[in-house]
Chain A
Amino acid sequence: MSRTVALLFLLLSFVPVAARAAGDDAAPEPATETSQGALDSDAPVVESGPSLDFDLLEPSASSEPAAAPGLEDVELEKAVAARRTMLTLHQGLGFATLASLAGTVVVGQFHMQDRYLGGGDTGRFKLLHTGLVVSSSTLFASVGLLGLLAPTPFKKELRWDTITFHRIFMAIATAGMLSQVVLGKMTEAREGQLSQVGFIRAHQAVGYVTLGALSAGVVTLFF
């Protein structure tokens, strides 16, 4: 009899412990549906599903967005929108610049052939070359400014990535564009002088290098 009482006592003593373990706060609650109706466009969208009435993680201060956007948020959204517009233009006009510069180099080559390499010195490419120089220079400057002046609302770390190579190639192209303006003027100023040949060759070489750097800068964006 005492043995039976001892057994019963022992078994009963474990029942509350086991019940507590099973009834821990971990136990899933019945599914609760969250309303999806009447939400404004900025309000969180919620779908119902299995019961997720448990908390395993510490609550995060940044889990929920602020109820009303602050001045900082509005400024940020403005900066992001401005950046997007400027960089989209930067990309679109960048292709136009590449096309314009390629045309400038090709027509420049024809102009050189015509003027200095036995082409008859008709001058038929001069106006076109000048026009292309003006358009490609204007485009190049505009595209560069759009890229440089675009606001950066999110901090960027400097690293060796494709955008860094893009910038390096564009810096080379910028140096080339500036050099071409100077070389072009110096070439014209040495009309009839022997030293003009050297400036013509330099103008030609820098033209090709500038086009190459600009092309490379664009191509890096594809990787």
Chain B
Amino acid sequence: MKSTFLALLVALSLSAPAFAGDEARLFSVHLPDSELIYRLNHKLHKVVGTARPTSGRARLLPDGTLQVAVRANVADFDSGNANRDVHMKEATEAKKYPLIEFKGVASGVKVPDSFPAKVPVVLKGQLSFHGVQKQVEVPMEVLFNSAKEITAAGRFTISLESYKVDRPSLLMIKVDDVLELETKFLLQQEEGK
């Protein structure tokens, strides 16, 4: 009887970690502590616009696959100049295409054993902007503050013309075609997930 009980305990203790490791972890972007920043160059000055994402989630699967989806409103970007922001909304047709969305995956992502720990992640996915969906690769620096809280920062560039955006101009000079997009996210594991 005693040995049967011991066998049960051993089996339970062996099976429990494997069971826990098979769970997908779901994280939500903490919106107040996350932001998207665009940078544009014009002959006369540099333009920097920021916006908070409207929603974002990440799921880390047991096989190390990381799935990420983030969404923001194009009209939310604020460059500190109301006229310029209106011009950007016109150029990006913000009423027709109100959202900018990223959906991507990375592989080989594991929760580190100790915290804090930095994990380089390359997200490969799709950026939807101005009615155009294009493949992008986003190198991210992922900092596991704990098993339940992650800070992720990344930076990549896109071509405005490849997204069919008629580049805005000031004083008859168009902005450069390259738009740099920087992302800063705080992700928190969802309760019970």
The reply to whether the CB of A52 lies closer than 8 angstroms to some CB of chain B is yes
From the candidates A44, A51, A162, name the one contacting B105 in the complex (CB within 8 A). Answer: A51
Which of these binds chain A: B31-39, B109-117, B126-134, B147-155?
B126-134
Residues of B within 8 A of A49 (CB): 124-126, 135
Complex: chain A residue closest to B62, CB-CB = A22
Contact with A along B1-31 (1 / 0, CB 8 A): 0011001100110010011001110000000
**When the two chains form their complex, are residues B8 and A6 in contact, meaning their CB atoms are under 8 A apart?**
yes
**When the two chains form their complex, are residues A76 and B95 in contact, meaning their CB atoms are under 8 A apart?**
yes
Could you tell me which residues of chain B, from 70 to 103, have a CB within 8 Å of some CB in chain A? 71, 75, 80-86, 89-90, 94-99, 101, 103
Interface residue total, chain B, C-beta cutoff 8 A: 61
Given the known inter-chain contacts A3-B4, A10-B8, A45-B164, please indicate yes or no for A57 contacting B55, CB distance below 8 A: yes
**When the two chains form their complex, are residues B126 and A161 in contact, meaning their CB atoms are under 8 A apart?**
no
Residue from A50, A69, A88 having most chain B Cβ neighbours under 10 A = A50
**When the two chains form their complex, are residues A18 and B82 in contact, meaning their CB atoms are under 8 A apart?**
no
CA distance A84 to B86 in the complex (A): 11
Within the complex, the shortest CB–CB distance from A146 to chain B, in Å, comes to 14
Which of these binds chain B: A96-104, A148-156, A207-215?
A148-156
**When the two chains form their complex, are residues A26 and B3 in contact, meaning their CB atoms are under 8 A apart?**
no
Residues of A within 8 A of B23 (CB): 21
Contact with B along A6-29 (1 / 0, CB 8 A): 110011001001100110101110
**When the two chains form their complex, are residues B22 and A21 in contact, meaning their CB atoms are under 8 A apart?**
yes
**When the two chains form their complex, are residues B90 and A83 in contact, meaning their CB atoms are under 8 A apart?**
yes
The reply to whether the CB of A191 lies closer than 8 angstroms to some CB of chain B is no
Complex: chain B residue closest to A72, CB-CB = B95
**When the two chains form their complex, are residues B69 and A221 in contact, meaning their CB atoms are under 8 A apart?**
no
**When the two chains form their complex, are residues A57 and B126 in contact, meaning their CB atoms are under 8 A apart?**
no
From the candidates A24, A34, A156, A161, name the one contacting B24 in the complex (CB within 8 A). Answer: A24
Given the known inter-chain contacts A44-B131, A221-B171, please indicate yes or no for A56 contacting B62, CB distance below 8 A: no
Chain A interface residues (CB < 8 Å from chain B): 2-3, 6-7, 10-11, 14, 17-18, 21-22, 24, 26-28, 34, 42-52, 54-58, 60, 62-63, 65, 69, 73, 76, 80, 83-84, 88, 91-92, 152-154, 156-159, 161-164, 221-223
The 4 closest A-B pairs by CB, nearest first: A56-B57, A163-B83, A21-B22, A56-B69
